């Protein structure tokens, strides 16, 4: 918090988790940038979640990426995927990755849920705004301002380095979110606007070893802030072989028999982390036996 609790600030260094997401989904360079920014923004937006809360961000555009989905929880864990991870577009007029073009025009959705994982099915809150930029950070800021009435400055970045065999190497990733709360003075708002515009590039600072506090210090300039909480962040998915078995067990008996007869097993793929789970013949036969005795 800063400026007598009239400014709320969050920052994260997400290099490792973005690198894991990019590796798991084998993304193109431009999708790596778009997905990495979305994962980081979702973590920052979800930083105030309570223990049983979950936040999902969906960016659905008409660009070749098709859409991006990211989900964060209160433990600093995030997971996500792009619908078309190999989508690619030419560099923009400045010679940089054209995230705007790969995303396209469409809608930006945020869904907040509480208690879902333990069976408390409360009505979720869902907000939406049009995609105004496609560069991701501006879209998070626009959503906060228009849907949640919180004027915000958002910076998100992913720095890539080309590798041999067309592999994508994430050299730095991270971002920050500064939210103006009720009671903030015009002087404070103007000072933040100036300092954010003059701050060094986020990924360059991270590449040079900056911490989340360093990112905020550069963005807030002379405004003092108090750190209320720090936590580790990671790419994490709760999928497992046991969950795959549970989901396949819910499939219609005739379809299970068809899988056993034609495929000699079953394979489930998790969209969020791209992990595959294979059930062999014996496991499918056991599921069928349990269904018959139920």
- Give the chain's domain count: 2
% of the chain beyond a pLDDT of 70: 96
- The HSE-up count of residue 256 (CA atoms within 13 Å, CB side) is 23
Rounded mean pLDDT of the chain?
93
> Do 43 and 143 have their domain in common?
yes
In a domain, 1, yes or no: no
Provide the pLDDT for residue 120. Answer: 67
Strands, sheet with 7-13, edge to edge from the N-terminal-most edge strand: 7-13, 168-180, 152-162
Q: What is the pLDDT of residues 220-266, one digit of tens each?
A: 999 999 999 999 999 999 999 999 888 888 888 888 888 888 888 88
Of 186, 212, 235, the residue at which a domain comes to its end is 235
pTM: predicted TM-score of the whole model, two decimal places: 0.93
Q: Which two tokens stand for residue 174?
A: 């991270």
**Cβ distance 158 to 206 under 8 Å?**
no
Domain that holds residue 286: 241-293
> Do 135 and 17 have their domain in common?
yes
Task: Find all residues with CB under 8 Å of 104, minimum gap 6, and list them.
Answer: 61, 62, 63, 64, 65, 131, 134
pLDDT below 50 — which residues of the chain? none
Of 193, 213, 235, the residue at which a domain comes to its end is 235
> Do 117 and 245 have their domain in common?
no
Tell me, rounded to whole angstroms, the distance of Cα 104 from its chain centroid: 18
Give the separation between CA 43 and CA 56, rounded to whole angstroms: 10
Sign of the four-CA dihedral 67, 200, 230, 7: negative
**Cβ distance 109 to 57 under 8 Å?**
yes
Short-list 172, 155, 216, CA closest to 7: 216
CATH number, domain of 246, equals 3.90.1280.10
Q: What is the pLDDT of residues 122-161, one digit of tens each?
A: 788 899 999 999 999 999 999 999 999 999 999 999 999 8
Provide the pLDDT for residue 211. Answer: 98
> Do 287 and 178 have their domain in common?
no
């Amino acid at each position: 918090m800063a400026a007598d609790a009239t400014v709320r600030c969050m920052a994260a260094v997400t290099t490792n988790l973005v690198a894991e997401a990019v590796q798991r989904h084998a993304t193109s360079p431009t999708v790596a940038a778009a997905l990495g920014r979305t994962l980081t923004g979702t973590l920052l937006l979800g930083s105030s979640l309570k223990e049983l809360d979950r936040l999902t961000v969906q960016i659905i555009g008409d660009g070749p990426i098709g859409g991006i989905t990211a989900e964060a929880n209160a433990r600093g864990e995030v997971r996500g995927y792009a619908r078309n991870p190999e989508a690619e577009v030419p560099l923009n007029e400045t010679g940089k990755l054209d995230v705007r073009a790969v995303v396209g025009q469409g809608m930006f959705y945020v869904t907040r849920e509480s208690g879902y994982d333990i069976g408390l099915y409360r009505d979720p809150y869902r907000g939406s705004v049009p995609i105004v930029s496609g560069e991701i950070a501006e879209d998070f800021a626009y959503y906060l301002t228009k849907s949640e009435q919180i004027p915000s400055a958002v910076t998100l970045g992913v720095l890539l380095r080309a590798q041999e065999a067309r592999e994508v190497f994430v050299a730095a990733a991270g971002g920050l979110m500064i939210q103006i709360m009720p009671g903030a003075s015009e002087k404070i708002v103007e000072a933040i606007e100036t300092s954010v515009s003059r701050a060094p590039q986020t990924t360059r600072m991270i590449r040079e070893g900056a911490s989340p506090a360093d990112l905020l210090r550069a963005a807030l300039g002379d405004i003092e802030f108090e750190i209320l909480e720090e936590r580790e962040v990671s790419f994490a998915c709760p999928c497992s072989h046991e969950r795959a078995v549970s989901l396949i067990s819910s499939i219609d008996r005739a379809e299970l028999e068809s899988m056993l007869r034609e495929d000699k097993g079953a394979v489930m793929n998790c969209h969020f982390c791209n992990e595959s789970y294979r059930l062999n013949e014996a496991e499918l036969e056991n599921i069928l036996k349990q269904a018959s005795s139920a």
